[in-house]
Amino acid sequence: MIRYQYQKLRQFLLEEEQRHLETMDREAEEIVRQLRHSEVRIAQHIKQTKDMYRELWEMCHMPDVKLLQDLENILEWTELVQMEKPQPVNPELTSWHITGVLEMLNKFRVDDPLSKERASHYMSLSEDARNVIFGDDHDGAPGESQRAENFAAWGAQAFSSGRHYWEVDVTHSSNWILGVCKDSRTANTNHVPAFEEAFFLFSSKRNNLYSLSNIFLPLTHYVQRPLGRVGVFLDYDNTVVSFYDVSKGSLIYSFFPSSLSSLLTPFVCIGSP
């Protein structure tokens, strides 16, 4: 009976995997179709814009009377070109629930992975995310620019083997970074030249648009931004670091580094809402 239950479960998961992959293939085909259609429309728009530029250039040499006579037609044509401006394609993929993944991950759960004692309350991150400056409370009252900075914290412990899972609540923040990294701070400075051996998921909001990406790989993840808790799973022995949308029980992204050689610690940076 036990063998039958496991066989039935394996068959169910295989069928779910097949449906998941087939759906992703269909979504990919549809996105490619939309991108090709957009490419054609952009080419047409570029041609129309060049034609309009040529007409406007010729207008500059018209007599004033002729210019006034043709002005209404030219304005209508200009408005028509602007109205036909191609809209960007949003290549968003469906976040699929993976049966049993959270139950499996919770077997490796780490309680209180982030240490309050090792928190830095003010953090400045460069645009390329390669340079970070931290400030502590004892440095004095923060300046006006520091008040808008981020809250960052390292893990209470570092890992050099085994499998470990923890969750971070990002409900009230639009901008955040979380994952694992080698803690390269020293006791004599609050400046970190660069994160070493780091695997991060990065959420940012610009012009009311959200994006998920890797900091060190210019790769945007076209899935919905998690609105609750994000799960981080470090499988050190098999060199995998994965991120999960807890509310959906779905995978966001997995790193597969060729090797791991450092003590890795959890890291989180929560920005202003």
- Of 254 and 138, which is predicted with more confidence? 254
Q: Which domain holds residue 69?
A: 2-83
Domain-embedded: residue 96: no
Is the same domain home to 105 and 12?
no
| Whether residue 265 sits in one domain with residue 153 | yes
Same domain flag for 263 and 172: yes
- Scan for tokens 């509310």, then name that residue: 247
Do both 134 and 249 map to the same domain?
Answer: yes
Alpha-carbon distance of 250 to 228, in angstroms, equals 13
CATH number for the domain including 217?
Answer: 2.60.120.920
Q: Tell whether 93 is covered by a domain.
A: no
The answer to whether position 43 is within a domain reads yes
Structural contact between residues 99 and 247, judged by C-beta atoms closer than 8 angstroms: no
Query: Domain check: are 210 and 167 in the same one?
Result: yes
**What pTM value is reported for the model?**
0.75
Whether 32 and 165 map to the same domain: the answer is no
> Does residue 194 sit in the same domain as residue 247?
yes
Same-domain status, 116 and 51: no
What is the per-residue pLDDT for 112? 77
Model confidence over 192-235: pLDDT tens digits? 445 567 888 888 776 555 667 766 565 677 788 888 899 999 99
Burial class (CB in 10 A: 0-12, 13-18, 19+), 186: exposed
Same domain, 122 and 79: no
Q: State the total domains in the chain.
A: 2
Do both 70 and 141 map to the same domain? Answer: no
Instruction: Answer yes or no: is 206 within a domain.
Output: yes
Phi/psi of residue 129, nearest 5 degrees: 65, 20
Residue-wise DSSP of 210-263: EEEE-SSS--EE-SPPPSSEEEEEEETTTTEEEEEETTTTEEEEEE--S---S-
pLDDT tens-digit readout, 71-86 = 666 666 666 666 667 7
Domain boundary among 83, 111, 137: 83
Structure tokens at 244: 């999960």
When comparing pLDDT for 91 and 11, which is higher?
11
